[in-house]
Amino acid sequence: MPLEPAPSPAVDVPEALKAGWLELWYQQKIHLRTLVPSGAEALIRMRHPAWGVVPPAYFIPDESDPHFHALSEFVIERAIEDWRYLLEQIGPVDLSINLPISFLADDAAVRELCYRIPDHAAFAGLLIEIDSNEVVDNLDLAIDVARRVRLHNIGISIDNVGANWPSLLGLPNFPFVQLKVDHQYVTGCADQRLKQTVCRRIVELAHDVGAQVIAQGVETRADFLAAHEMDFDQVQGYLFGKPMGVKKFARSRMHFSEKQPAS
């Protein structure tokens, strides 16, 4: 955290991009049954010369901001660069990035994204996480994009699924490859039946349509055991590691097996 919040708009996206202050941090995803690493989510951070590491809440612009597109392009380009770095250091790592639905509404941007996908035998594909509220509010667009990018080794993951899960029921030929349950329904779920009910419904929905389902926000062993009992496919959260810079992530991945919690 920075020593003091970055006063908006003291640092805007163009300044941060030009100065090279932006970077991606990675948080591990874990296959729940085997406890082996199962990819990582890229999360944007700013390393400000005065304030230190600044979380995105202090500098991410509104989607209507004309610079949001440039920020999304940075995320794509840096994630692919980091994938190549990780390939050299520890082998291939499946990565996911976060993009707004507005970026994917731009046909030219989608074509450029598909063009940038690495043509490498070790590249298993890119996941794009889109917030569930954006998907629900723009369902036809989200479905169309998901179907188009699948042809280019890109899958769409619906992020932060929660009480809005019924809106995803009954979709023909469900095109999304993954659902991520909102952390507010996962953290503390071991002791709260209502949270468990929502989680179970989302797990059932995902498995009924052949999608993977992730519990994000797993912070305790009790939450992990609850996620295991509810039949999640993957887990993500502080129990298995906080987000970290790509070099630190590579080092931690090398030693991950030594830090796995007992099943």
For residue range 164-206, list pLDDT tens digits in order: 999 999 988 899 999 999 999 999 999 999 999 999 999 999 9
Nearest-angstrom CA–CA distance, 214 and 157: 10
- Residue 64 pLDDT: 79
Domain assignment present for 4: no
Specify the pTM.
Answer: 0.91
Q: What is the pLDDT of residue 96?
A: 98
Contacts for 189-193: CB closer than 8 Å, 24+ residues apart: 189/215, 189/223, 189/226, 189/227, 189/230, 190/220, 190/222, 190/223, 190/225, 190/226, 191/222
The answer to whether residue 23 is domain-embedded is yes
* Residue 89 · residue 42 · CB < 8 Å: no
Structure tokens belonging to residue 82: 């980091």
In a domain, 31, yes or no: yes
Give the pLDDT of residue 262. 52
Pair 86, 246: CB distance under 8 Å = yes
* pLDDT the model gives residue 260: 53
Which CATH number goes with the domain that contains 66? 3.20.20.450
pLDDT of 261 reads 54
Q: How far apart are CA 123 and CA 117, in angstroms?
A: 9
Residue 184 lies in a domain: yes
CA angle 79, 40, 223 (to 5 degrees): 150
As given in the structure block, the two tokens for residue 13 are 């996206």
Q: How many domains does the chain have?
A: 1
Domain contains 263: no
Cα–Cα distance measured from residue 142 to residue 220, given in angstroms and rounded to the nearest whole number: 33
Task: Choose among 173, 174, 168, 183: nearest CA to 235.
Answer: 183
Residue 7 falls within a domain, yes or no? no
Residues of the chain with pLDDT under 50: 1-3, 6-9, 257, 263
Confidence at residue 62, expressed as pLDDT on a 0 to 100 scale? 82
- What residue numbers bound the domain in which 49 lies? 13-254
> Tokens in use for 148?
């188009």
DSSP-derived 3-state class of residue 210: coil
Q: How far apart are the first and last CA of the chain?
A: 32
Q: What is the pLDDT of residue 54?
A: 87
How many angstroms separate the CA atoms of 71 and 12, rounded? 11
Whether residue 173 lies inside any domain: the answer is yes
- Residue 259 inside a domain? The answer is no
